[in-house]
Chains A and B, each alone.
Chain A
Amino acid sequence: MEIVMAFVIGFLFMAATYLMLSRSLLRIIIGTGLLSHGAHLLILTMGGLSGEAPPVLADGVEASQFADPLPQALILTAIVISFGVTAFILVLAYRAYQSLETDNTAMMKGSDDDA
């Protein structure tokens, strides 16, 4: 399964980069969203997918059967942080829209004499 996931993650990264290379702000932000999904899945996959039970103590479950809890904790932190950042850049893009009346990054270039 890890090998399949590696290809899925690679596909997510590819789609994310392709979107981030576009000129539309919305597509760039969607790209970052896909990129963080890819990264989260990558952490999970690299931790190993062979766990048989969630990492919560329960009767009749051996310690060796738990999924690895450490990557999960790392991903949880990463999800929250990427959410904070995504929310911030979304609002930033919204403000950029309002002020500049465009979502095309090619139109957002400053001129040389901008202070």
Chain B
Amino acid sequence: MNLIVAIFLPILAALFVPLLFKKVKQLHTGWFVLLIPLSLFFFYASFIQRVANGDIFSSTFHWVQSLQLSFISYIDGLSLLFSLLITGIGSLVVLYSIFYLDKSKEQLHNFYVYLLLFMSAMLGVVQSDNVITLYLFWELTSISSFLLIAYWFNRDASRFGALKSMMITVFGGLLMLGGFVLLSMMGDTYSIRELIAQAPQLAQHDYFTWALVLILFGAFTKSAQGPFYIWLPDAMEAPTPVSAYLHSATMVKAGIYLVARFTPIFAVSELWIWLVTGTGLFTLAWCSFFALKQTDLKGILAFSTVSQLGLIMALLGAGAMSYHVDGAVETVFKYAAFAAIFHLINHATFKGSLFMIVGIIDHETGTRDIQKLGGLMSLMPISFTVAMIGSLSMAGVPLFNGFLSKEMFLTAMLSIKEFGLFSFDTFGVLFPILAWVASVFTFAYSLYFVTHTFFGKYKPEQLPKKAHEAPIAMLVSPIVLAVLVVTIFFIPNVVATYFIKPAVLAIQPFLYSDVSQIDIHISAWHGFNKELWMTLGIFAVGTLLIVTLKKWQHVYDRVPAGFNKMYDAVMQFSDVGMNRLARLYMTGSNQTYLLYMLASFVVLVLGTLFTQGGFVFDASNVAPIRVYDIVLVAVLVCGTIIALVTKSRLTSIIGLGVVGYSVAMFFVLFNAPDLALTQLVIETISVALFLLCFYHLPKNSRTEKRMRFKLSRFAVSFGVGATVTIVAIAAQSQKMMTSISEYYKETVYSLAGGGNIVNVILVDYRGFDTLFEIAVLAIAGLGIFAMIKLRLGEGKEKKQIENK
């Protein structure tokens, strides 16, 4: 139970944040907020030892028991690692934001409420065992991220970025929900653990591929993979603590988490391996290439984040290959998942610190434009050191943790071509080449980031503020992260034992039954092997690229930014195109809508009748035709034609009257005296009403024109008439059972004591109908009275006309 409480603790705390902001003016609200992630961090840290031993914790809170919806918090190696990242980096980010955001100028209560909301959501995502609550928290991260990106909501770019990220992540989230629903239908449970337990059976299911693709959509949109990366660079309009927290260390890794968590289910599939590895590598190469184009420091980091996430994704895909290899524990593929988790930790540390440094530069110089910056090394020595450590780690230089995971990445990519299945032996050769090229660009933009900011000439005239070192309190968080970057390099195996191996066990439960079986040892020195030469090549070519950057950077002007254009086109289409489409058929004219309705009536009824073979013609059961009938039919048809073709409104009213009286005559002929009486009286009143309403109108408002003949109208009305006739004949020709009227005829006197059967039906057998028909008349009368008497809008309307 306390695990569940821990997830919801930030949300509960968020309730008090506005109160503290309003009441305690002297102290920055962030100090109160800091307590929450810090205490949660120590709470989760207390699990480290036990989880490293292979223990698993879980607790359940039943939400909607009848639908099997429960909040299940499940702590194994993978979720513990993510929880520690979320709360640990969360604490550092809150600490940093205390100095970054001004307590008198900013709407701090909003900021911290959103941030705490996000923290809960993220903890929920990584700990949920129930797919539905996982989805719930997933969308909560989308919403809180949306709110945080648009924190400065009076800027256009913030709102654009927020909307873009919302559209893309929610699009993926909804598809993911579809995947979850399919998956839980296949396994008949919402629990991820139970689904993993029946993984072999699931692979045989028809929905398997659908669920796989849909869930990957969710993961790729959230983690900015493939074409969906475009939202992340635009999300950089958020305050820097948000970018550091959400868009480098935590939220964008939700997709990574999802892929890692579902690997045991989907690893068996070829499609999964191809999609995850392929998309990851593509994103890695594509975005590392484009990072060098950026002039905004946060833009560089955004593209760098995307490409590093692609690297982790590709490793996870390669990790799934071990499912297909006999004796995988001995092969190199086991390294892939291990390297993925290792790089995930490393990336969170160095990218978090780099974002914070960018925020400091922005804060102290007033700009993030790399073309205006330069020569800050002597002015901001501490920031420079931290930025240097972060960048070199990102570039994969020894002495920093990025080197270790980059080496493992190269090892994994090199071994892909040994994987014989799924035509990887032919295409496999591409993977190390792509990985190598991407690493070259990674090295180049890492250097570009540092050299163009801190080296070179100081250009004070271009800076809005006079540059100086940040207050030491603001530097605490990046320094802590930078220290971690270096520390991890020297004690990688401690990190492996406590964090990585339990996580790998969660990703590859089919390989190992116990943590102790994972015998991977990280060492910084492998001897002179292929990876080393590749690394040296990366350093050499990367340096060459950065030195000659000015000469070839104009290449970027010729590369189109295709995916952003596509997004804009889709948005433009849904905005303008759909509007136009709707205007096309929503004409605002009654005639058009009636045409739609009647035409669909004709098509649906006739279509059903004839496709189902419902039309039968049988004239054996009909009444004889008499002379009177024929005469009357002629009269009725004449009346109708008069009403149709006449120019004068008076004549058409008389035509309607003719029809009404001949209907009354029909009632007489067909033995319905009560109907005839009523029809005569009511037709008289109706005609009188028609005359009253239309004859006494002022002449000038009348449009006495013959109706113009229109083919579409005629076609539809002919169709309606034909349909009614055909249906009537078909119904007449196949009566299924005899009428219940025999009962009325026999009991009308004995039970009801009346002779007129129709009247007895109206007031006795079926008296309720009559009651409400009286009500209809009463309402119509009252309505007419009100319409004539009540003229509230009159004065106003006249004024409006005058204005026009």
Contacts and interface: CB of A to CB of B under 8 A. Distances in A.
Interface string A67-104: 11110110111011101111110111111010101111
B721 A69 contact: no
Interface in B640-657: 640-641, 643-644, 649, 652-653, 655-656
A4 to B, nearest CB: 6
A63 B742 contact: yes
A57 B755 contact: yes
Interface string B460-487: 0000000000000000000000000000
Contacts of A80: 678, 682, 773, 776-777
Interface in B660-719: 660, 663, 666-667, 670-675, 678-679, 682, 685-686, 689-690, 693-694, 697, 701-703, 707, 710, 713-714, 716-718
Summarize B's interface: helix, strand, loop or mixed. helix
Given A10-B725, A33-B660, A77-B773, A1 B679 contact: no
Summarize A's interface: helix, strand, loop or mixed. helix
A81 B689 CA distance: 16
B693 A94 contact: yes
A4 B673 contact: no
Interface residues of B, number: 97
A87 B24 CA distance: 69
Contacts of B761: 69-70, 73
A20 B728 contact: no
A68 B741 contact: yes
Contacts of A40: 663
B185 interface: no
Contacts of A17: 598, 716-717, 720-721
B757 interface: yes
B721 A10 contact: yes
B250 to A, nearest CB: 45
Given A1-B622, A26-B649, A73-B762, A15 B717 contact: yes
Contact of A1 (B624, B656, B685): B624
Contact of B656 (A33, A51, A101): A33
B553 to A, nearest CB: 49
Interface stretch (B451-459, B556-564, B743-751): B743-751
Interface string A45-71: 111111111111110000100111110
Contact of B660 (A3, A13, A37, A103): A37
B622 A3 contact: yes
A16 to B, nearest CB: 8
B603 interface: no
B35 interface: no
Interface stretch (B136-144, B193-201, B322-330, B586-594): B586-594
Contact of B724 (A42, A76, A99): A42
Instruction: State which size class the interface on A falls in.
Output: 35 or more
A6 B697 CA distance: 38
A95 to B, nearest CB: 5
A35 to B, nearest CB: 10
Contact of A92 (B595, B722, B787): B787
A14 B623 contact: no
Interface stretch (B373-381, B518-526, B629-637): B629-637
Contact of A53 (B619, B671, B697, B780): B671
B604 interface: no
A37 B720 contact: no
Candidate in A5, A55, A80, A106 with the most chain B CB atoms within 10 angstroms:
A55
Contacts of A67: 670-672
A76 B674 contact: yes
A16 B663 CA distance: 15
A69 B689 contact: no
B584 interface: no
A109 to B, nearest CB: 5
Nearest to A29: B690
Contacts of A21: 591, 594-595, 598, 710, 713, 716-717
Given A17-B716, A30-B643, 6 more contacts: A4-B625, A14-B717, A67-B670, A68-B741, A73-B762, A94-B697
5 closest A-B pairs by beta carbon, nearest first, are: A14-B721, A10-B725, A84-B780, A17-B717, A57-B755
